[in-house]
Structure 1
Amino acid sequence: MQHLPKRVTVTEVGPRDGLQIEDQWIPTEIKVELVNRLSRVGFKTIQVTSFVHPKAVPQLRDAEEVMAKIDRVPGVTYEALVPNLRGMERALAAKVDKVNLMLSVTDSHSLSNANATTAEALKNLEPVARMALDHGIGVVGGMATALGCPFEGFPPPERLFMVVDAYLAMGVREIGVADTAGMANPALVYDRLSRLRDRYPDVHFSLHLHDTRRMATANIIAALEAGVTDFDGAAGGMGGCPYAPGATGNIATEDMVHMFHEMGIETGVDLDALLDVVRWMSTWVPHPLESTLLRAGKSRDVLGRRTSGQVKKIS
């Protein structure tokens, strides 16, 4: 492998994308504690919540209360997902540092998720982006289903170009490319991200992966080869999209960070501290976490046990 970066950026989206799919109510105090613990692990950006209508995502109906109660650690950007102008107004009142605009690249998913076609949704986002930028709030243009849609399959590059062009017209220069349904493969990821970076060299692209079919880590390698160095993850591998049938959790942040560190790529994240957070999460999440590292431990820990004679030979 050639041209790998020395450092990448990892954004933690678990408090929002990880929790939004949970049916059992997670108390506000637990959400606040989760954000506070993650704030001290080394992440530069944490996606805290979503200002969608409470009926759409009941689990995040306490968005304002969570934002009001978290400890804001200097140097950490606290981000929220916003779907529309009303959500942006709520986010501003809650003093978020950055917003991620909710948009689906395919019409079918957009109609399911936002009751509007992609073109209509983009038009509706214009005043949202303007309000955020006018108030000095950072903006990420979301591109859900960019790498696979459960209703329409794989969007062609031209569809992605159309969305990016619309975001650029709004003044948005950060774009989040998402594999919402976990359908992407490494060849597709490399192709789409390479095309995007070649066509838009001044745009900052990040990658948001779901590990539905256990290809997320391979897709990360493809993204690195394409020059992308900004990735989302959810602690414990939690999450899923309520409007993407079959979609499961995000790539587990700890698994991704572990892989980067084993490859000699810096993240700025304290992996041991992050694992402590995930272990704590396992005490209140009402189902097993999708974390291979939680089950198997770090590679170097296994080596340590072997040298100390704790690993028995299998005959």
Structure 2
Amino acid sequence: MRMPERVRVVEVGPRDGLQNESTQVPVAVKVELIERLAKAGLPAVEAGAFVSPKWVPQMADSAEVFRTLQKRLGVTYPALIPNLRGLEAAIAAGVNEIAVFVSASEGFSLKNIACSRAESLARLRDVFDLAITRGIRVRGYVSCIAGCPYDGDVPPAEVAAMAHELLVMGCYEISLGDTIGVGTARQIRNLISQVATTIPRERIAMHFHDTYGQGIANVLASLEEGIAVFDSSVAGLGGCPYAPGASGNIATEDLLYLLHGLEISTGVDLEAIAETGDWISRLLGRHNESRAGRAVLARRHSGGQDGR
């Protein structure tokens, strides 16, 4: 199967990344981060989540973020929502694209959102009804596609079943997430092949965490399976509070370096993303997890050219 000539990168750092920070990040910083990422050419920047502040306090100010944000033409700014109440709050804040989520594993669903997989799907029906009525696009996430911290191995058939349910309900795209970062290239290829029996490849996105250092290898495997949409997080921000040991998402800088090296078009400025990754890492007082980002800046500061 031919690799895609162009890839759409969905930036999840402002939501999936920042939600794990222990210290509250000011609205002004969140807004600047989102605007810098959009200016660098990213076509989609997940900007917040309308979830319970009790469980995810870092996202409690998402409404203010959306109201403050200066949106760029051609860029989408989805928000994660768990239920009808979250969607109503998102609509009030001017959100026009949302992301919903389910788990491929029963154990993770029970621990993460305190309901079974079947119950999680049932809860989303009202969300889809209102979103469709309001003309709001819906993207779907399926978590724990390669393994679960509670149930262990997750059969590909379970992933395919949950992804298909989201597609039928109205998602325009399904992002398959290796939440705890245990997947390997062969496993991911097999998974995509099975999911693609019920969902067209052009409607599948991949979302990798880098716990075992396999994230970029899994991107390459996915590209070889014809996947053309990937989620990533600037500077590798993120993790999962309900998945012990899970590290952050693959870094947007590392993803771009791979894609550009393969001569796959993204429309994204790698140097601008590297600068943003360095900026937000310093501001948060955390290590920049992007090896490509650190290398790009080091080479530039030394006067070299990196050719990407």
Deviations 1:194-228 (A, max 9, x none): 22123322760101111111100000011011111
Unaligned ranges ≥5, structure 1: 308-315
Which protein has the larger Cα radius of gyration, Structure 1 or Structure 2? 1
**Native 8 Å contact 1:238 1:250 kept in 2:** yes
**Native 8 Å contact 2:201 2:227 kept in 1:** no
What is the rounded CA distance, in whole Å, between the counterparts of 1:63 and 1:187 in structure 2?
A: 38
**Native 8 Å contact 1:142 1:178 kept in 2:** yes
The Cα of 1:30 is off from its aligned counterpart by 0.5
Unaligned ranges ≥5, structure 2: none
Aligned twin of 1:133: 132
Aligned twin of 2:81: 82
Letter in 1 for 2:15: R
The structure-2 alpha-carbon separation of the partners of 1:251 and 1:306, relative to structure 1 and needing over 3 Å to count, comes to closer
Letter in 2 for 1:270: D
Is 1:235 the counterpart of 2:226? The answer is no
What is the rounded CA distance, in whole Å, between the counterparts of 1:156 and 1:183 in structure 2?
A: 14
**Native 8 Å contact 2:164 2:199 kept in 1:** no
What is the rounded CA distance, in whole Å, between the counterparts of 2:5 and 2:202 in structure 1?
A: 20
Aligned twin of 2:180: 181
What is the rounded CA distance, in whole Å, between the counterparts of 1:171 and 1:194 in structure 2?
A: 22
Residue pairs, 1:151-230, within 5 angstroms? 151-201=150-200, 204-230=203-229
What is the rounded CA distance, in whole Å, between the counterparts of 2:35 and 2:183 in structure 1?
A: 32
The structure-2 alpha-carbon separation of the partners of 1:306 and 1:203, relative to structure 1 and needing over 3 Å to count, comes to closer
Further displaced range: 94-103 or 11-20: 94-103
Is 1:295 the counterpart of 2:294? The answer is yes
Letter in 1 for 2:161: M
**Native 8 Å contact 1:258 1:298 kept in 2:** no
Query: Aligned Cα RMSD in Å?
Result: 2.0
Query: Partner of 1:192: helix, strand, or coil?
Result: helix
Is 1:58 the counterpart of 2:65? The answer is no
The Cα of 1:298 is off from its aligned counterpart by 7.3
TM-score normalised to structure 2 length: 0.94
What is the rounded CA distance, in whole Å, between the counterparts of 1:175 and 1:305 in structure 2?
A: 40
**Native 8 Å contact 1:82 1:100 kept in 2:** yes
The Cα of 1:297 is off from its aligned counterpart by 2.2
What is the rounded CA distance, in whole Å, between the counterparts of 1:200 and 1:293 in structure 2?
A: 33
The structure-2 alpha-carbon separation of the partners of 1:101 and 1:296, relative to structure 1 and needing over 3 Å to count, comes to same
Aligned twin of 1:313: none
The structure-2 alpha-carbon separation of the partners of 1:166 and 1:305, relative to structure 1 and needing over 3 Å to count, comes to closer
Structure 1 segments, 4+ long, off by >4 Å, are 298-304
What is the rounded CA distance, in whole Å, between the counterparts of 1:21 and 1:241 in structure 2?
A: 7
Q: How many residues align?
A: 306
Aligned twin of 1:310: none
Query: Partner of 1:146: helix, strand, or coil?
Result: coil
